[in-house]
Structure 1
Amino acid sequence: MNSGPEERPYVPAEDFEEVVAAAPEHIRLELVDGRVRTKDPLGVEEFEVLERRAPETVQLEYAYGELEFKAFGDGTHSCIRIWLLRQFLALLPDQDLYPEVGVRTEADGRGRYIPDGVLAPSGHFAGQGGWADPGGVLMALEITSRDGRTNRRARFDKPFGYAEAGVPVYLLVDRNSATSTVHSEPVNGRYQHVRSCPWKDALRLPLPLHSGPVTLPPLPAKYQTYRPTR
């Protein structure tokens, strides 16, 4: 049985200090109970300035008006993503699973998310800036990590943010529950269908393609039982 990665709901102090050092003077940050907060309201334009200046050792997102740190994945996280990439390459050779592409999300495109993967046509993001338009994206992928806050956003906030942006399918691979949850058919900012599937079963994805839905095989057992070290 998969016990999943240990969740740690905090931002490392050294990451916080690096972002503070890079932040413009008018953006004041504080670390409270392991969470980074801005002392003043942060607009999306200010967030983009901060994100451009931040070191490459951190990933910053902007979710419903709040600055958020996104945890990097561990080895198993990377292996699951590569396995998924290989499945899509075999099943949909004209589509690519792009890792960590910044996407505009939420109503009116005000959110700034960095999905663990974005399924879109080959070459789709060529010429786009740091935060791509969600138009043409078939699916967003998130894989849970060790960080509790990152995981809560993936489970509870991002289904709304992706639906509001009109992303047809949102796939959440949850390593703590050993399930994959498929969100589909966004209407008025809400996914109309949400279905969870245990990893031992094949997974049907209702992607908006002329060829119809695709089915992924069960996740390999070696990814279901591995627990990351602390």
Structure 2
Amino acid sequence: MLAEEFERIAAAAEREGVRMEFIHGRLGVKAVPDGDHDEIIRWLMKRCMQHRPDLWLYPERGLRIEQYRKGHAKPDGALAPEGCFAGQGEWADPDQVLMVVEVTSYDSDTDKRDREEKPVAYAQTGIPVYLLIDRNTCETLVYSEPDGDTYANLTRRAFGRTIDLPAPVGFTLHTEPLKDWVR
């Protein structure tokens, strides 16, 4: 499938309440975020601004995630230097992205998409940190040190515990508030 074809289909699907992604040459479907999902992104955006005012957490920033496969993803957040996406189209170069963020949805595809496919795709792209806020398991997972098709390090903590976001992000998250935004 050509990128242009995917973009046309994805735009039509989003009007119907579904977000689509194109990862590893396959279409993926993601439910539109709920209010608790939005609160988690708002909370994380505030933490990022407090600790790293030189960066911005761009919500749902379209990224080209695979150099040779024309892959596209819209992570829930992309932490990058302010202004780095200026002049880029819907699918931006991820070279300046320090961290991508995903918050799990309550849909049947979350396991495969957020826990299996995206860590591989983001590691292949060389994004230094992948933060997964898993509402199903009530855990925060930090993948770091991309090494080819995987991340060399994975740290997981239950909601309520602190978790370090390693360099180049470089701050600690206190995850107690996440308990309020799960079913």
After TM superposition, is the score higher than 0.5? Answer: yes
Over 3 Å counting, the alpha-carbon distance change for 1:150 and 1:176 in structure 2 is: closer
Q: Which residue of 2 aligns with 1:149?
A: 109
Per the alignment, residue 78 of structure 2 pairs with: 118
TM-score, scaled to structure 1: 0.73
Say whether 1:218 aligns with 2:175: yes
Q: Which amino acid aligns with 1:51?
A: A
Quote the offset at 1:103 in angstroms.
Answer: 0.6
- The structural deviation recorded for 1:53 is 4.9
Which has the greater radius of gyration? 1
Contact 1:170 1:182 in 2 (8 A): yes
Q: Percent identity?
A: 42
Contact 1:145 1:151 in 2 (8 A): no
CA distance in 1, matches of 2:127, 2:55: 15
Letter in 1 for 2:173: L
- RMSD value, Cα: 1.8
CA contact (8 A) 1:44 1:65 kept: no
SS at match of 1:112: strand
- Pick 1 or 2: higher relative contact order, CA cutoff 8 A, min separation 6: 1
When normalised by structure 2's length, the TM-score is 0.91
Given the superposition, is the C-alpha separation of residues 69 and 224 from structure 1 closer, same or farther in structure 2, using an over 3 Å criterion? Answer: same
Between structures 1 and 2, the one with greater strand share: 2
Following superposition, which runs of at least 4 residues in structure 1 exceed 6 angstroms of deviation? none
1:87 to 30, 47, 62: 47
Q: Does 1:48 align with 2:3?
A: no
For 1:5-50, what per-residue CA distance to the aligned partner results, in whole angstroms no more than 9, with x for missing partners?
xxxxxxxxxxxxxxxxxxxxxxxxxxxxxxxxxxxxx343421343
Q: Residue 179 and residue 207 in structure 1: after superposition, are their counterparts in 2 closer, same or farther (change >3 A)?
A: same
Using the alignment, how far apart are the partners of 2:165 and 2:87 within structure 1?
A: 28
Match of 1:96 among 47, 53, 56: 56
The alpha-carbon distance between structure 1 residues 214 and 151, as it changes in their structure 2 partners (threshold 3 A), is same
Return the alpha-carbon distance in structure 2 between the equivalents of residues 157 and 191 of structure 1. Answer: 12
